[in-house]
A and B are shown apart, each in its own frame.
Chain A
Amino acid sequence: MKTFALCGNPNCGKTTLFNALTGSTAHVGNWPGVTVDKREGTYKKGKEPLGIMDLPGIYSLSPYTPEEKIARDYILGGGADCIINIVDATNLERNLYLTLQLLETDVPVVVALNMMDEVEKSGDKVDVAALERELGVPVVAVSATKGRGIKELMERAAAVKAERKGVCLLAGELTQKRGTEDGSAHNEIAACDENADTEAKLAADRYDFISSRLAPLKTKAKREKLTKSDKIDKVLTHRVWAIPLFALALFLIFHLTFSENLFYLNGFTEGQAWMPSLVELGLAAEENGEIIYNNFGVEILAIFYDGAVFSPGVILTNFLNLFLNHISSGVVTLMENGGAAAWATGFVGDGVLGGIFAVLGFLPQILVLFMFFSLLEDTGYMARIAFVLDRLFRKFGLSGRAFMPMIMGFGCSVPAAINTRTLADERERTATLRVIPFFSCGAKLPILLACGGALCAKIGFGNADLITYSMYLLGIAVAIVSVLVMRGTTLKGETPPFIMELPAYRLPKFKNLMLHLWDKTKHFVKKAFTVIFASTVIIWLASHLSFSWKYLEDEAMNNSILAQIGSFIQPLFTPLGFGSQLGEFGWVFAVAAITGLIAKENVIATFGTLAGCIAALGANVGGIFVPDTLAGVEGVTDAAAMISATGITGAGIIAFIAFNMTTIPCFAACAATKGELPKGKFKFTLLFWIVTSYTVGAAVYTMGNWWWSAFIWAAAVGVAITLIVLANKGILRFKRAGARRNKSKKTGCGGCCGGCSGCGK
Chain B
Amino acid sequence: MQKFLSALKPGESGRVVAVNGEGRIRRRLFDMGVTPGAEISVKKVAPLGDPIEVTLRGYELTLRKSEAACVATE
Contact = CB atoms under 8 A, between A and B. Distances in A.
A97 B31 contact: yes
Contacts of B11: none
B27 to A, nearest CB: 6
Contact of B58 (A93, A208, A392, A400): A93
A498 B31 contact: no
Contacts of B31: 59-60, 62, 64, 97, 203
Contacts, number: 121
B51 A502 contact: no
The interface centre, meaning the residue of B28, B32, B46 with most chain A CB atoms within 10 A of its CB, is B46
Contact of A391 (B37, B50, B67): B50
B53 A200 contact: no
Contacts of A161: none
Given A208-B37, A498-B64, A499-B63, A200 B47 contact: no
Contacts of A203: 30-31, 35
Given A91-B58, A93-B33, A387-B53, A240 B47 contact: yes
A41 to B, nearest CB: 28
B33 A97 contact: yes
B23 to A, nearest CB: 9
A237 B33 CA distance: 24
Interface in B12-33: 18-19, 24-33
Contact of B33 (A199, A200, A207, A394): A207
Nearest to A391: B48
B37 to A, nearest CB: 6
B28 A497 contact: yes
Given A97-B33, A391-B50, A62 B27 contact: yes
A326 interface: no
Given A64-B24, A200-B35, A207-B35, A499 B29 contact: yes
B3 interface: no
Nearest to A230: B43
The interface centre, meaning the residue of B36, B45, B60, B64 with most chain A CB atoms within 10 A of its CB, is B60
A32 B1 CA distance: 35
B51 A390 contact: yes
A52 B38 CA distance: 36
What band does the interface of chain B fall in when counting residues whose beta carbon is under 8 Å from A? 35 or more
Nearest to B47: A242
A151 B64 CA distance: 43
B35 A204 contact: yes
Contact of A387 (B46, B57, B58): B46
Contact of A92 (B29, B36, B45, B58): B58
Interface in A229-265: 237-240, 242-243
Nearest to B38: A207
Contact of A390 (B44, B50, B58, B59): B50
Contacts of B26: 199
A501 interface: yes
A500 B35 contact: no
Given A239-B47, A392-B48, A499-B29, A387 B36 contact: no
B63 A243 contact: no
Nearest to B27: A62
A388 B36 contact: no
Given A94-B57, A94-B59, A199-B27, A499 B49 contact: no
The interface centre, meaning the residue of B28, B35, B63 with most chain A CB atoms within 10 A of its CB, is B35
Interface string A207-244: 11001000000000000000000000000011110110
Interface in A46-99: 59-60, 62, 64, 91-94, 97
Contacts of A208: 37
B61 interface: yes
A498 B36 contact: no
Interface in A80-129: 91-94, 97
A678 B61 CA distance: 30
A597 B61 CA distance: 42
A208 to B, nearest CB: 6
A207 B57 CA distance: 10
A388 B47 contact: yes
A501 B32 contact: yes
Contacts of B67: 497-499
Contact of B36 (A200, A391, A394, A499): A200
Nearest to A244: B47
B14 to A, nearest CB: 16
Interface in A386-435: 386-392, 394, 400, 424
Nearest to B63: A499
A203 B19 CA distance: 11
B25 A497 contact: yes
9 contacts: A59-B28, A60-B27, A94-B33, A207-B33, A390-B50, A394-B50, A424-B24, A499-B32, A502-B60
Top 9 closest A-B pairs, CB basis? A391-B48, A203-B30, A93-B57, A60-B31, A502-B60, A59-B31, A204-B35, A242-B47, A499-B63
Given A391-B46, A497-B25, A500-B63, 16 more contacts: A59-B28, A60-B31, A62-B27, A62-B31, A64-B24, A203-B31, A204-B37, A207-B33, A242-B47, A387-B62, A390-B50, A391-B50, A497-B28, A497-B64, A497-B67, A501-B61
Interface of B: 18-19, 24-33, 35-38, 44-51, 53, 57-64, 66-67
